[in-house]
Amino acid sequence: MPEYATRFADHDIDLSVLCHLTDRDLKELGVSLGHRRKLLANIAELPVTSSARPKTMAPASRDDAQRRHLSIMFCDLVGSTALSTRLDVEDLRAVVAAYHRCCAEIIEREGGFIAKYMGDGVLAYFGYPQASEHDAERAVQAGLALVEAVPGLETPANAPLGVRVGIATGLVVVGDLLGTGAAQEQAVVGETPNLAARLQALAKPGTVVIAPGTRELTGGLFEYRDLGTVALKGFDRDMRAWQVLSSDAAESRFEALRAASTPLVGRDDETALLLNRWEQAKAGEGRVVLLSGEAGVGKSRMTQVLLECSAQEPHARLRYFCSPHHQDSALHPLIAQLNHAAGIRRTDTDGERLAKLEDIIAEATDRIAETAPLLADLLGIPIGDRYPPLDLTPAARRAKTLEAPLTLAEGLAARRPVLMIFEDAHWSDPTTRALLDILVDRLAVLRVLLVITFRPEFVPAWRDRTHVDLLSLGRLAPDQCVAIISHLTGGRLLPREIAGQILDRTDGVPLFVEELTKTVLKSGLVRKAGNAYIATALIGRTAIPETLLASLLARLDRMPETRDLAQLGAALGRQFSYELIAAVSELPPALLERSLERLESAELIFRRGAPPDAEYTFKHALVQDAAYATMLRDRRQRLHGRIAAVLETDFPEVPKRQPETLARHCAEAGQTEKAAELYIAASGRATAASNNVEAAAHLKRALALVATLPPRAPRTVELRNRIMVGGWWWSA
Ligand SMILES: Nc1ncnc2c1ncn2[C@@H]1O[C@H](COP(=O)(O)OP(=O)(O)OP(=O)(O)O)[C@@H](O)[C@H]1O
Ligand SMILES: [Mg+2]
């Protein structure tokens, strides 16, 4: 926003100050509301982009220890003992150094963090210090790249080197600094690192072996060989393992990872609009539909509907997929589409590749000699002497390369209607966006429907064109979520409390509904009984689905400096007031306000009203759960203890009017007796107001707490008696 540059300069605001500006500051500088929102969102991104995955990370202090969900990779040089007997020590050192460099380069390129070199072994974490929704996938990608690259290294060994790689994914505690400098290491405690090490030992030279948790997260993205169940040293149960064969198994991320497992629910208007635009496109009036919505809301699913509905009609389909790993590689979606459409395989010779490419060009246009050399160049296929060499300036080559796919599209559309699906534009590279700019304008007069999907962080440039519709997918209504749950349970009813929890915690996002329901069904919390599921134990809080953890944590990690505050908010509850968080937090007010604004601009929380009267709500209950789940037990207890103390001293009306709120914090803080007493009081209040269901629930909680106390202690006996009296009252 160049119009503000002078104003910022006049006020001595440079980049270092910009990060600390609040909404109020910007307002004082005369920045409009819309621009303030945009600026704050950009400011929120600043620290992440500037420190994105540095080579060496600032270590977490002991207090920063976190429960995290990581994909952990172990790789080991094959035959290193033999090498050590054969080579001079200096040569051996050079071999290991070359191998370590290769590992570091590949692992860091895939977003991994090298935690430790152990002789010739390398330990790497994916998902630390910054989680991303693709950690497991990137770990596997790095593993495949390693087993391919290491044998090609030129070293004094004078023979190809080999590696084996093991990868496991799961919950760990990361923290505690050991050593400094190059040996700096974030210690990870948990089963996952051991599992990765054992799988590595099991892997044959030159292969990557993964654990069930990793396999579940990578779905159909790779090709695997099932190694069956294997016995692993140090594990008391056998474990299933897979060898990863290659990465080009899937064309579409949606089909590889999600697929349509339940019938479509709702979305009638959206379906009607898409089908109507397809009819118009077929009649020669080219249309574009921009399909936007948050992750998991059902964008890809809508494109699937369109593909299904048009399946029987004569038309051509072009599907492009942006990939989170190729945001910097020019025209990646086009390259992947051409490779896939032409059926080009890695094992094909150059001649075969060129012939396959020419075949698909011929389906669209007669101008083969014009387009083939450009597209071959794009795909890295040598043209030999089949065409004259491309003798162009870089600018001319770029212009012509962008023209070639347009020629294909125009040619195809002249022969039959074309349905183009362009998925996940938020991961598109700049050259692809330039190509889309031209395509969107050109197709207005072609028999083409182009559907572009993206998450809301992407702001498309094409919204104002008359042939373009913007379709924003919102969350589903509760009854629609119930329909999805019901499909997954095979029509059996879940216990009311559990179904209620699923609805409350998934906020109408179909992906969350699916994953949480599957987690509940797998968890052993319920079992089938006739036409229903019944609870097998006292219903507590259901776990966060492992499949969603990485993506939930990624949202929190976008701003590591506000993580503590997000955790404090999470301990307070889905909703909390500015007044309460200000009283509990130890941050100075200006910093607190700024941090809350950052959480808000990252869309982790919503705000109603302005501080000091503001009320905040976590946008997603599951994000709140994830923030809470990353805290170590000790920190949780301390936080709840502090919250309980603040409530009692500064907010005396809370214990009086909602004893159950204080009870929850006391219970989590380990103040069991006090918590039980407060729940009994809460039950009494609910009974007095004839809220019998709540009264019973409070008493059940009190009873569960009392069960953890020494059974014969006089205080325990007294509490138990009071619960019985309360129960009698309530049941009478
Ligand atoms: N209306 C619906 N009815 C039934 N299932 C749905 C519906 N919408 C989405 N789903 C299911 O929810 C899951 C998530 O949907 P989808 O993958 O289409 O989301 P998305 O918006 O494309 O997310 P992302 O931004 O991560 O790509 C899928 O398994 C999909 O089948
Ligand atoms: Mg999608």
Report the alpha-carbon distance of residue 324 to residue 132 in Å, rounded.
10
DSSP helix/strand/coil, 84:
helix
β-bridge partners, 618: 605
- Residues 38, 50: Cα–Cα separation, whole Å: 18
Distance of alpha carbon 220 from alpha carbon 254, whole angstroms: 9
Instruction: Identify the residue with better confidence: 189 or 295.
Output: 295
pLDDT higher than threshold 50 for residue 59: no
More confident residue, 413 or 253: 413
What are the Cα distances from residue 200, in Å, to 90, 143, 477?
27, 11, 46
Short-list 73, 122, 124, 81, CA closest to 98: 122
The predicted pLDDT at position 253 comes to: 78
The CA 516 to ligand 1 mean position distance, Å, reads: 14
Q: Residue 476: nearest ligand to its CA?
A: 1
- C-alpha 459/C-alpha 290 separation (Å) is 10
Topology classification of domain 267-472: Rossmann fold (3.40.50)
Asked whether 298 lines ligand 1 (CB < 6 A), one says yes
CA 255 / ligand 2 centre spacing (Å): 9
> Does ligand 1 have an atom closer than 6 angstroms to the CB of 266?
yes
Helix (H, G, I), strand (E, B) or coil at 561: helix
The residue to mutate among 253, 427, 484, 511, having the most atoms of ligand 1 within 8 angstroms of its beta carbon, is 511
Which atom of ligand 1 lies at the shortest distance from residue 265's CA?
3
Compute the distance between CA of residue 732 and CA of residue 712 in angstroms, rounded to an integer.
Answer: 28
CATH 3.30.70.1230 describes domain 62-253: yes
Q: Residue 527: what pLDDT?
A: 86
Please, are residues 586 and 576 in contact by the beta-carbon 8 Å criterion?
A: no
Ligand 1 and 511: CB distance under 6 A: yes
Asked whether the predicted pLDDT for residue 3 surpasses 90, the reply is: no
List alpha helices for 443-586, DSSP H.
478-488, 496-506, 510-523, 546-557, 563-572, 578-584
Residue nearest to atom 9 of ligand 1 (CA): 298
Amino acid at 195: L
Kindly report, residue by residue over 686-730, the tens digit of the pLDDT: 888 877 778 888 888 899 899 888 888 888 888 888 888 776 655
Q: Which atom of ligand 1 is nearest to the CA of 260?
A: 31
Q: What pLDDT does residue 175 have? A: 73
Name the more confident of 696 and 483: 483
> How many angstroms separate the alpha carbon of residue 469 from the centre of ligand 1?
20
Ramachandran region, residue 226 (left: φ > 0; alpha: ψ -120 to 50; beta: rest): beta
514 C-alpha to ligand 1 centroid (Å): 9
Q: Which protein residue has the closest C-alpha to ligand 1 atom 23?
A: 296
Which residues does 380 contact at the CB level (< 8 Å), separation at least 6? none
DSSP alpha helix (H) spans, 245-367: 253-257, 268-282, 299-309, 332-342, 350-362
Alpha-carbon span 417 to 185, nearest angstrom = 57
Residues 610-639: what's their mean pLDDT?
90
Ligand 2 centroid – CA 380 distance (Å): 28
**What tens digit of pLDDT does each residue of 325-346 get?**
788 888 999 998 999 899 888 7
Band of residue 174 on the pLDDT scale cut at 50, 70, 90 = confident
Question: What separation in Å is there between the alpha carbon of 571 and the centre of ligand 1?
Answer: 30
* pLDDT value, residue 60: 41
Could you tell me which residue, 555 or 643, shows the higher pLDDT?
643
Give the three-state DSSP class for 697: helix
- Mention every residue, 6+ apart, whose C-beta is less than 8 A from residue 394: none
Q: Is the CB of 295 under 6 A from ligand 1?
A: yes
Q: Is 304 in the pocket of ligand 1 (CB under 6 A)?
A: no
Contact 492 CB / ligand 1 (< 6 Å): no
For residues 203 and 80, the answer to whether their CB atoms sit within 8 Å is: no
Cα 289 to middle of ligand 2, angstroms: 15
Q: What is the pLDDT of residue 722?
A: 84
Task: List helix spans (H) across 51-134.
Answer: 80-86, 89-109
Cα 625 to ligand 2 centroid, rounded to whole Å: 23
Predicted local confidence at residue 414, as pLDDT: 92
Handedness of CA 684, 686, 691, 692 (dihedral sign): negative
The number of the ligand 1 atom at minimal distance from the alpha carbon of 295 is 25
Q: Give the Å distance between the CA of 256 and the centre of ligand 1.
A: 13
Copy the structure tokens of residue 100: 């370590």
CB 98 within 8 A of CB 155: yes
Q: 2-50: which CATH topology? A: DNA polymerase; domain 1 (1.10.150)
Kindly tell me the burial class for residue 645, based on how many C-beta atoms sit within 10 Å of its own C-beta (0-12, 13-18, 19 or more).
middle
- Predicted pLDDT of residue 686: 84
Query: Is residue 416 within 8 Å of 315, Cβ to Cβ?
Result: yes
The answer for 30, left when phi > 0, alpha when psi is -120 to 50, beta otherwise, is: left
- Residue 177's pLDDT band, with cuts at 50, 70 and 90, is very low
> What percent of the chain stands above pLDDT 90?
45
pLDDT of residue 243: 97
The reply to whether ligand 1 has any atom less than 6 angstroms from the CB of 508 is no
The minimum-distance atom of ligand 1 relative to the CA of 302 is 18
- Asked whether the bond before 151 is cis by omega within 30 degrees of 0, the reply is no
Whole-number pLDDT of residue 183: 41
Quote the mean pLDDT of the chain. 85
Please tell me if the CB atom of residue 143 comes closer than 6 angstroms to any atom of ligand 1: no
For ligand 1, atom 8, which residue shows the shortest CA distance? 298
**Among the bound ligands, the one closest to the CA of 134:** 1
Residue 286 has a CB neighbour count (10 Å cut-off) of 23
Question: Which residue has better confidence, 103 or 529?
Answer: 103
- Residue 262 in contact with ligand 1 by CB distance below 6 A: yes
Work out whether the CA dihedral 698, 701, 707, 713 comes out positive or negative. Answer: negative
The domain ranges of the chain are 2-50, 62-253, 267-472, 478-543, 544-631, 645-732
Buried b (16+ CB within 10 A) or exposed e, 158-170: eeebbbbbbbbbb
If pLDDT is split at 50, 70 and 90, which confidence band does 41 have?
Answer: low
Asked whether the beta carbons of 217 and 137 are under 8 A apart, the reply is yes
Pocket flag, ligand 1, residue 300 (CB < 6 Å) = yes
Atom number in ligand 1 closest to CA 264: 3
- Which of 134, 253, 258, when mutated, tests ligand 1's pocket best, judged by the most ligand atoms within 8 Å of its CB? 258
Residue whose CA lies nearest to ligand 1 atom number 4: 264
Ligand 1 near 257 CB (within 6 A): no
Does 58 have pLDDT greater than 50? no
Radius of gyration of the chain (CA): 29
318 C-alpha to ligand 2 centroid (Å): 16
Mean pLDDT of 312-334: 89
**In this predicted model, what pLDDT tens digit does every residue of 381-409 receive, in sequence order?**
988 888 888 788 888 888 889 999 999 99
Q: From the CB of residue 270, how many other CB atoms can be counted at a distance below 10 Å? A: 21
Q: Is the pLDDT of residue 641 over 70?
A: yes
Give the integer Cα–Cα distance in Å for 507 and 618: 11
Q: Which atom of ligand 1 is nearest to the CA of 453?
A: 22
Q: How far is CA 211 from CA 73, 216, 244, 552, in A?
A: 11, 9, 11, 22
Give distance in angstroms: CA of 530 to centre of ligand 2.
36
Ligand (nearest to CA of 291)? 1
**E strands within 462-522?**
468-472
CATH number for domain 544-631, candidates 3.40.50.720, 3.30.420.10, 1.10.10.10, 1.10.3720.10: 1.10.10.10
Q: What is the β-pairing status of strands 163-178 and 208-210?
A: parallel
Q: How far is the CA of 296 from the centre of ligand 2 (A)?
A: 7
What is the CA(298)–ligand 1 centre distance, in A?
3
| Three-state DSSP state, 320 | strand
Which ligand has the minimum distance to the alpha carbon of residue 270? 1
Instruction: Report the atom number in ligand 1 closest to the C-alpha of 476.
Output: 1
Tell me, in angstroms, the distance from the centre of ligand 2 to residue 456's CA.
Answer: 12
261 Cα to the center of ligand 2, angstroms: 14
Q: What is the DSSP letter of 623?
A: H
Least confident of 50-59, 165-174, 346-355, 720-729: 50-59
Any atom of ligand 1 within 6 Å of the Cβ of 484 = yes
Which H or E element spans position 178?
A: strand 163-178
Phi/psi of residue 680, each to 5°? -65, -40
Q: Read out DSSP for 142-163?
A: HHHHHHHHGGG---TT-S---E
Is cis: bond before 612, omega within 30 of 0? yes
